[in-house]
Structures are given as C-alpha cells and as structure tokens.
Amino acid sequence: MTGAAFGKRLADAVAERGPLCAGIDPHPGLVESWGLPADASGLERFALGATEALAEHVAVLKPQSAFFEAYGSAGVAVLERVVASAREAGALVLLDVKRGDIGSTMAAYATAYLTDGSPLAADAITVSPYLGFGSLEPALTAAEASGRGVFVLARTSNPEGAAVQRAESPGGTVAQSIVDAAAARNAGARPQGGVGVVVGATNQPGELRLDALNGPILAPGLGAQGATAGDLARLFGGALRHVLPASSRDLLRHGPDAASLRAAVRSTRDSLNGLLR
C-alpha cells in the first residue's frame, strides 16, 4: 500500500464521512433474522449485502473475522470479497482479528493482514498485547512500513477483562501502560499516529489518561450494548476528536432491506457528527 500513513488517511476519511465505524458481524442469529440460512451461502449474502449498503456511508468498516472463519475456506473467501468491496466503496477496512503472539508467529499474522499482496490485507487490524506490548513489534513494524494501522486492546468492556486490564502496574493500571506504549509509538506524528487503542464505550470515565495518545480510539459498544453519544463525551473528554464509535448489531438489525440499512447508518452517523467533530 502506497501513499499517506494510516493516521493521515483515517483523519481524512473521518473529515469526509464522519467518525462512525460500522461493524460487519455475521452472527448466525443475525443471519437467520434476515431470512437466510446460517451457512456459507447465507454468510455471503448477508456480509456482501451489508457491505454494499453501508461501506459508502462510513469512514471505517469493521468485519469480525471469527464469524467468517467459522465456515472454513468458504467463509474466508467471503471475507476477502468483503475487504475488496469495502475498499471499492471508499471505506477503510479495520479487520477485527485480535491477533497476539510472539516471534515468527506474530510475524506471520503481520504478513497475512498488514502486507501488500495478501488477499486479507486490511487498512488496519485489532491486536492483543497481553503477551506483552513488545510482542506486537512485528505487526507494528509491518503496519508502519506499509502505511497501515493497528488497534491495541487496552480497556475492553467485557467484565472478564477487568481482572487483567485494571491490575496495577508501574505508573498505573495495565490498561494505562498499553495506552502509554501506544502513545510513545505515535509521538510526533501529524495529524495522528497509526497505533490506536480499543476502549469500550460502556466503561467508566476516569479510568484512563488518553489525551497524550495522539492516535485513534476504537470505542465499541454504541447502540445495542447501551452506550450513547453522551456517554462518549463523558468517557473520552479531551480525546473525543480521536474516537471512532463502533456499532454493528444496532445497524445490522435493520436488514436485509438495503434502504433501511442505509437509513440506519446515516441516522447514527449524523447523530455523532456534531458531537465528535
């Protein structure tokens, strides 16, 4: 991938289309609610239909890889088509894979998702730092070299995460240490760096210091999980301009009618634009 670094491309996309990140999560229950079979054929119709309806209206489209992988090679082939289709519509693709490993294995993940020529290469991916932030180096290096980004899990909204993420470490919590490490990678970048963090929109204000991050913040939980635009303002404060609120089920429940999907994404996007800009 050539051209501007991910932080610049993301900032430009948000300026043009707003900050909403639309998730493509082909959960079997959602697929069936569209009147489709919960198999590879239903997955294809669901995922490509949702992508066609949503991708041209958002800055970022976020497919959840696990729901595609569940169908084996046929599902992965659909995911490749989703990535290509979203790009054709002008959206950046954030592939939600949450990969985290060490050494050559992490390097292989980086080759799969962050390297030119790979059919699964996205504009950015989610990664897990819980084998140590340093274990992410192959992904960070590959992303920087190819103009891509990574979003590092910091303070997720699942209850089980708190035991690790809120544990104390030098300088604050484990989650804060991840934010600080990401900030160090982003230092000096303009308009922002390409190392983002994931912070659930349903968490409590005051847990993290985010003002120095100088990078994007993926905030899942908008809509179906209960978070509102007002919650985002309270949670993120001065870092609000870097936030990408993510919504999936709250948008996808309006399918399979394409017009209803487009209306839902426009309504959600427009409700966020005034607040986050």
Whole-angstrom distance, CA of residue 159 vs CA of residue 161 = 5
Under a CB-based contact definition with an 8 Å cutoff, are residues 186 and 196 in contact? no
**Catalytic residue among 81, 98, 166, 262, which?**
98
Query: Where in the chain does DSSP place strands (E)?
Result: 21-24, 60-63, 92-99, 124-127, 149-155, 168-169, 172-173, 195-199, 217-220, 243-247
Q: Is 8 assigned a catalytic role?
A: no
Number of Cβ atoms within 10 Å of the Cβ of 178: 24
- Residue 27 in tokens: 């959960």
Whole-number Cα distances in Å, 144 to 106, 194, 202: 15, 8, 30
Which positions are annotated as active-site residues?
98
